[in-house]
Structure 1
Amino acid sequence: MPDLWLPGAERHPLTDTAPTETQYAPRVIWHITWDRNATATKPADLVPFDNLVRYFTSAGRSAAPHLLWDPFTGRTAQFYPANSRSKSVVDVAGGTRTNRTGRVCLQVETLFFPNCRVNGRTYATVRDTPAKGLDKILAWTRSWKVPDTWPMGAPTWSAKRNEHTWRTEGGHYGHSQVPENTHTDPGPMPKWPTSTTAPKPGPPPFPGRDAFGPGRTNASILLLGQQLVRRGYSKHYVVGPSRTWGEADRRNTADFQRAQGWSGSDADGYPGPQTWSRLFNN
């Protein structure tokens, strides 16, 4: 399993964790803290990093992200583990679960506002910053299988929202692209550093419950058995997995399901979409 905490980040764990909706693809939401309003003719000094740490662990904890990132120094602080939702976008009751959509829904608050001043220089967008530490953040998001794509296009200062895209495509989103929200940040972002390793292929699609059970013979049963072996759930196989469903497939699948903490009908040995997702995504 990938690291729940970004390696090297300062940890300030908040205790009100909550699960995400893991049936959706993994994603990242990018923000800027926008602490001050400045202009090109009247720039303002960047707010100290520690001020934001104190804010997100006290008065601003109801809007805390996963990460606070300083693109000028590379310093990062983390408030929630990757498998919890965080709270930096509006999430309307009864609507799209904007803070929860995805196997992970990682949110990054970039310490930045337009025309901030750092060491005497003014920066109009995050794209203009040194973006120190971005490579480490992206290596972490890639470990959670977030693709290096912007499904709604790279952010600008304009809002662009499409709920269907949000629900069906993993990748990186700006706050300006999240349903139910009205913000226009983060504005133009840096180009992603190239990954040093080829991205891992995504999990095979779930073939449906009817693919499994007595009398069934197909490639999905063999694929299931091979993955059970890879994950260490193979003690009931005498020879090994095959294309034909057998009691050993059911018993090995049940062992895996029980290892997830499931019981009763949730651990009956017949794979559903949640079993399939857990088996191939972890």
Structure 2
Amino acid sequence: MTEYHVAIDHLASPDPDTPQQRVETTYLGFVDQAHVDQVKAIAKLKSTPRVLKEHPHIEGAFVVLRDDGDLDVYVPVDASEYRVYEPDPGPKYDTTMPTIEADGPPPVPMPTVTGPGANDEMGVDLPRGATTGPAYISGVVKFGDQVIGGAMDHPENPPRAVWHTTESPQGAGYFTSVAAYLIRIGSEPQVIYDPASDSLGQFGPLTQSARALQNDGARRTNREGRVCIQVEVLGKASSPWTKGFDPAAKPNFRKLLAAARAHGVPDVWPAGKPLATAAAVAKATRSRTVWQGQGGHFGHGNVPGNSHWDPGAIDTDIVPGKVVVETKPTSPSTPKPTPAQYQPFPGSNFFHAGRHSPIITAMGRRLVAVGCGRYSTGPGPNWTNADRESYRAWQKKLGYTGADADGYPGAKSWAALKIPRVS
């Protein structure tokens, strides 16, 4: 009969005044197969607060999630070693530094908006790195050593967020035991979130890669885009966690969405809304063109090279929802005339090499917002081939083909883009 090593993983801060939570392992010796069979039988009972999960990389090994935050670990004595940092290695860096620097232009100041989910509620830690968004969300629990990944392979591609589910119960105790599990198997996202307690944690900076996705052949999906913010939400894909979820009562959830927006992640689902069943996801196309070329929110089941179907049919009116911007109402007795809301179409002859106009900048910003940006340095006032390629992506998104998708704006596609009027 097989014998198993037994250990307990604890997440304990060396300093109670800091949010850093490091993993401590207590080895308890070994047990026989009969003991393991009993452990598995107990974990199957619906009345027990124990949840069994097989180790995805070590044959025969498994862990037991506990509602007190600890993780029980069982590994066959003859199991081969598993190296945590494979197959997605990346450079480590000094976590004592106050910010994570990267080559590139100076950071762009974040826009100031107010209301639920807005930047003034995010409370981000400054200074920031070379992107517009924060490396860390203020107040998060920092799990592990914060060195899960490295630089992005394709920072020229649009920013995105990927949503996973842990396939576990919710609650503050499971929040820590699931975090310990993800560290042990080397599959950490940047962010872990518990909808029940509104607990928010990070395993690494948002500005570097995570390890929660499988590679798509030689293409490292964890390192796709300017950022690829991955979020493991405590819950099960078969029972969407957004049901009965009220973002207004969850300030940490709103901080998370605000952080994604600060990095430029558009409030769209380029591959469509997350599907409700594993069978539906299996029939769907995991488009490399959409994944690599469009920014926005994706489910784990949308990513090429991956086999999981989570997060289930979560409510896209909640994830990501919309930023609420507070405005001061004008007095009904003194109404003020306002210009038309959107920029009128300037005509087909407007768009040519050498054209310089703030209208082109406004157009480019809207193309980025709807997930069609094809810019390497960001939209600007000069009409360039990047503008044409971005507009071509927008025309194709509207269903245009052939000569109708030549990248030059027309009146109908321009009106559909809804570009704010340039003052």
Quickly name the TM-score band, shorter chain normalised: 0.5 to 0.7
Per the alignment, residue 126 of structure 1 pairs with 241
Are the counterparts in 2 of residues 29 and 172 from structure 1 also a CA contact under 8 Å? yes
Identical pairs, percent: 27
> 1:23 is matched with which residue: 145, 153, 156?
156
- Counterpart for residue 336 of structure 2: none
User: 3-state SS of the aligned residue for 2:242?
Assistant: helix
Unaligned runs of 5+ in 1: 37-43, 116-123, 208-217, 222-282
In the alignment, which residue of structure 2 is the partner of 1:112? Answer: 235
- In structure 1, how many angstroms separate the alpha carbons of the residues matched to 2:171 and 2:256? 25
Tell me if structure 2 keeps the 8 A contact 1:46–1:112. Answer: no
1:126-275 aligned within 5 A? 126-130=241-245, 132=250, 133-156=252-275, 157=277, 158-159=280-281, 160=284, 161-190=286-315, 191=317, 192-197=320-325, 201=365, 202=368, 205=375, 219=382
Worse overlay, 181-190 or 198-207: 198-207
Alpha-carbon separation, structure 2, partners of 1:194 and 1:219: 30
Asked whether the equivalents of residues 159 and 263 of structure 2 are also in contact (C-alpha less than 8 Å), the reply is yes
Q: Give a deviation string over 1:100-151, Cα, whole Å, max 9, x none.
A: 1010001000011257xxxxxxxx2122142533322111100000000000
**What do the CA deviations read for 1:146-204 (whole angstroms, capped 9, x no partner)?**
00000011101332311111111000000000000111100011323321359993489
In the alignment, which residue of structure 2 is the partner of 1:80? 204
Counterpart residue type for residue 173 of structure 1: F
**AA matched with 2:294:** E
Post-superposition Cα deviations, 1:25-65, rounded to whole Å, max 9, x if no partner, equal 000010000137xxxxxxx99971110122233x12x2100
Amino acid across the alignment from 1:193? G
CA distance in 1, matches of 2:260, 2:179: 22
How far apart, CA to CA, are the structure 1 residues paired with 2:174 and 2:324? 32
Residue segments in structure 2 that go unaligned for 5+ positions in a row: 1-106, 108-132, 327-361, 385-423
Report the CA distance shift for 1:11/1:164 in structure 2 as closer, same or farther (over 3 A).
same
CA–CA separation in structure 1 for the residues paired with 2:303 and 2:138: 27
Is 2:173 the counterpart of 1:66? Answer: no
CA contact (8 A) 2:268 2:296 kept: yes
Which protein, 1 or 2, shows the higher relative CO under an 8 Å CA cutoff with sep ≥ 6? 1
Q: Structure 2: how far apart are the matches of 1:113 and 1:48?
A: 13
Change (3 A) 1:125 1:197: same
Residue deviations 1:65-96 (CA, integer Å, cap 9, x gap): 011101112111100101111010111442x3
2:141 counterpart residue number? 10
Structure 2-normalised TM-score?
A: 0.42
Query: What corresponds to 2:174 in structure 1?
Result: 48
How many residues of Structure 1 are paired with residues of Structure 2 in the alignment?
193
**If you compute each CA radius of gyration, which structure gives the higher value, 1 or 2?**
2
Amino acid at match of 1:171: G
For residue 150 of structure 2, what is the amino acid of its counterpart? A
User: What TM-score does the superposition give when structure 1 sets the normalisation length?
Assistant: 0.61
Question: Aligned AA for 1:73?
Answer: S
Find runs of 4+ consecutive structure 1 residues off by over 6 angstroms. Answer: 44-47
The answer to whether the 8 A contact 2:157-2:374 is kept is no
- Code of the residue aligned with 1:109 in structure 2: it is E
1:54 partner letter = A
1:72–1:129 CA contact under 8 A, matched in 2: no
